[in-house]
Structure 1
């Protein structure tokens, strides 16, 4: 029977892998300055609009325009300014485009006015131009605007943010390497402190009239002679019995002891 996919016959473990599902949207914004507000209002009756210059947002440089109705797009909203986002039909559009738009009235510092900042739902814009755009019929009440400080020198600004969803895609990703921090090599310092403190010392040496306390396990690991002496045939001797080292001065043994003990 064939092994399952990804099985490594060597050790049964495969290298980790990673991928991503990526979404998001292309975004951009356009600032529409209304200069000569009063003249535009008096020149265009209800139901008539003027279009902004085209601007691009989205894959393939999709072109858009803002439709500005100074007296509303219909008689029931004639006291309001209506704004809509629409595809720029002067540019060939092969298929419908989904997008969201956020319209914001800007104050004199260029910041959106919270009470007049609104986000549309996702809308499918037809390439035939039959839908007439999508936005807000009652975006700004003209009387309110004219009494506010946002209209200055017969001028104000509308910002339009456009969000066009990008096609979902997948892609491979590299797995982040695992870094292991190697501790510094300072075992000898720990052993030296252990020897100096005599903590857990379990064997005693006598040399040159002095006694030296040490750790038999460390000595056995460092010297085959001590391993045989401490854990071999002499193991039965009492731990308290001192091991005599003849023919060696205390200073010499101490120096040797610090190398091996």
Structure 2
């Protein structure tokens, strides 16, 4: 007999926006404001923010620091969990981890009901000089991981031969890399890519029509691709052969978002719905005040319903100050010029949802 114990975890994320930060100053040492409650692992949690610092039972508080905690709210509960407290850069929407707490026991009603176990989160003068505090707004992000009851499985020991995992994806990727047996080439802005007609036709109905139909491309050994960058076509081919994205070592931050936007256009062009959905999901996770307008225009232009809904939800959930920032972005100005009907529809839906 063989038994195996597997850890089981549940993760949740909560964002706490503090508007009018300066007006919360002067509440007094140990005074705090608390976020809305959120549930992770069947337990209720909240973020506590002490603008003027907090002194623990040991009395070692420091008023030159702000204090931020994850708090367990369930009475008499003992929960094993870890947390990662981050601050969000206002003009980019990107978060930076400030304090991580490894797995430990949270016990409501005691000091152990909080994490971290230090009241020193960030110096107040460092916060003031950082990009985290802008327009009198501070955004705290907390990721909670709750350790659930581990899963224990018992199985009979059987004489058997272990089979290796499928390597078809690896083989197809090698086929693309080595160009072995390639029977069609694509010219994209001066770069040439070799591929296999059958693989492309299997993955895209548009490629199938172009390469096996009556269109000119079906009879040509060299197909010219218009209106696409070589890096985007390379990533498209990589996904066709491996069902995954290539390592984007040359892309960071906004460059990755821009690449995903181009891939949505390519996925729509070649009717690759799976790739289109994956790209929508990535852009949903990257939504912030700087990207929402451009992303909304893209969603309308390429019939990305999931992405449209996410943009509308973002605008609806945003207060007037956030909307003012959105309106000031280049993406909004471009959307206003090129797609005024999209803009009107988006803000009309946002206002209707606010009223309900």
- CA gap of 1:19–1:123, structure 2 versus 1, over 3 A, is closer
Q: Map 1:140-155; keep pairs closer than 5 Å.
A: 140-155=122-137
Structure number, greater radius of gyration: 1
Measured after TM superposition, the shift of residue 130 of structure 1 is: 5.4
Q: Which of 23, 29, 49 is the matching residue for 2:32?
A: 49
**For 2:61 and 2:163, how far apart are their aligned partners in 1?**
66
Q: Which of 43, 52, 57 is the matching residue for 1:62?
A: 43
1:71 aligns with 2:52: yes
Q: Map 1:1-261; keep pairs closer than 5 Å.
A: 20-42=4-26, 44-58=27-41, 61-74=42-55, 76-89=61-74, 93=75, 95-108=77-90, 109-113=92-96, 116-129=97-110, 131=112, 133-135=114-116, 136-171=118-153
More strand by share: 1
| 2:76–2:107 Cα contact (<8 Å) kept | no
Measured after TM superposition, the shift of residue 86 of structure 1 is: 1.4
Q: Secondary structure at the residue paired with 2:134?
A: coil
How many matched pairs?
A: 155
Match of 1:224 in 2: none
Deviations 1:78-120 (A, max 9, x none): 011101111114xxx453111111111111222222xx52211
Match of 1:227 in 2: none
Measured after TM superposition, the shift of residue 123 of structure 1 is: 2.6
Q: State the TM-score, normalizing by the size of structure 2.
A: 0.39
- CA gap of 1:33–1:41, structure 2 versus 1, over 3 A, is same
Structure 2 residue runs without a partner (length 5+): 165-356
**For 1:67 and 1:169, how far apart are their aligned partners in 2?**
33
- CA gap of 1:35–1:176, structure 2 versus 1, over 3 A, is farther
**For 1:24 and 1:131, how far apart are their aligned partners in 2?**
22
> More relative contact order in 1 or in 2 (CA 8 Å, sep 6+)?
1
- CA gap of 1:149–1:63, structure 2 versus 1, over 3 A, is same
Q: Secondary structure at the residue paired with 1:153?
A: coil
**For 1:177 and 1:76, how far apart are their aligned partners in 2?**
58
| 2:46–2:70 Cα contact (<8 Å) kept | yes
More helix by share: 2
Measured after TM superposition, the shift of residue 57 of structure 1 is: 0.7
Q: Secondary structure at the residue paired with 1:138?
A: coil
RMSD after superposition:
2.7
- CA gap of 1:172–1:86, structure 2 versus 1, over 3 A, is same
